[in-house]
Chains A and B, each alone.
Chain A
Amino acid sequence: MVHIKRIQEEGADIIAVIGEIDASSSIELDLAIARSVGEGFRKILIDCTALEYISSAGLGVFMSYIEELRDKNIPLVLFGMKEKVANTFSILGLADLLHIRQNKEEAKSLANELSV
C-alpha cells in the first residue's frame, strides 16, 4: 500500500511517497508525477522519508519520466531515502541517472540550480 501526498513550497511540487511501492501500487506514483507535470509545476521533489520499499515497478516510473522532464526542463529531485531504499537504486546504477539528495533543503537547492 502506498499513500501519496502533495504539497507545494516555493514553487516546487513536493510529492511525499508513504509506504511501499511495488507492481500493484506503482501506478499511484505514476499518476502523481503526471498530475504534477500536467498542472505545470516547474520543479518536482519526491519526498522519500516515509518510503519503506520500492521495487523495479516504482524505479521504472522514475526512469520513464527522465527524458520528458529533461526536454521540458523540469528538474525532479528525490530526497530522504532510507538506506535500504537507496540500495535498490544503487544496485541498478540509477543513482547516477536520477537526482538524489539527502534532505529537502539540498533537494530544493539542486532543483533551483537546475531550473535556471
Chain B
Amino acid sequence: MNYQYNIGCSLSNLKGIREFVRHSLKHEGVPEIEMSAIVLALDEMCSNLMIHAHHCNPDHLLELHIEIPKKGKLIFEIIDDGSVFNINDFHEPELDNLIHQKRKGGLGIRLVKAIMDNVEYLRRDDKNVCRLTKEIKS
C-alpha cells in the first residue's frame, strides 16, 4: 500500500500529519504504543524540516509518503527541495547539557533515532528524500 500527503511548512499542520500517519497505518495491526511512537517520530522529523530547512514558510511544501511493501514493514519518506537537514550530521546533545543551557530543542532527533530502525537521506529527481524505516515485529 502507498499513501501520500502534501503539507505546507506551517507548524499548525503537524496535527494533520499525525492524523494522516495514524489513518494510513490503522489496518496494519501496529500496537498502540508503537503507533504512538511512530506518529511522534514523523511529527518530530517534519517539524524539524519545517523549522530548520523551511523557516516555517507555509508556501513551502513537504511530501510525506508511506509505503508498506509487506506486512509489518513500514517505509516513510519526507520529500522536499529545501536545504538539506540531515539529522545524522547532528550529535544529540547530552541531557545534562540541555538542562543546563535551558535549550528547548535537541530532543526530537534523539526520539526519531530511538524510535525508527533506520534514518537515511538520498537525492531523487533533484529533491531531498529523508527515508525512515521501521519493522513491526508481530
Contacts and interface: CB of A to CB of B under 8 A. Distances in A.
Interface in B37-58: 37, 39-40, 43-44, 47, 50-51
Interface in A74-101: 83-84, 87-88, 91-94, 97
A66 B44 contact: no
Contact of A60 (B14, B32, B39, B98): B98
A12 interface: no
A23 interface: yes
Residue of B44, B98, B100 with most partner-chain A CB within 10 A: B98
B104 A60 contact: yes
Nearest to A87: B33
Contacts of B14: 22-24, 55
A77 B75 CA distance: 38
A96 B37 CA distance: 19
Given A22-B47, A87-B33, A59 B15 contact: no
Given A24-B14, A57-B105, 17 more contacts: A1-B15, A22-B14, A23-B47, A23-B50, A55-B47, A57-B47, A60-B107, A61-B104, A63-B95, A64-B98, A67-B99, A68-B102, A84-B32, A88-B37, A91-B115, A92-B95, A93-B95
A68 B47 CA distance: 27
Contact of B103 (A64, A92, A93): A64
Interface of B: 11-12, 14-15, 18, 32-33, 36-37, 39-40, 43-44, 47, 50-51, 95, 98-100, 102-108, 110-111, 114-115
A84 B103 contact: no
Contacts of A55: 14, 40, 43-44, 47, 108, 111
A53 interface: yes
Nearest to A55: B43
Contacts of B47: 22-23, 55, 57
Nearest to A70: B99
A30 B104 CA distance: 10
B107 A92 contact: yes
B37 A91 contact: yes
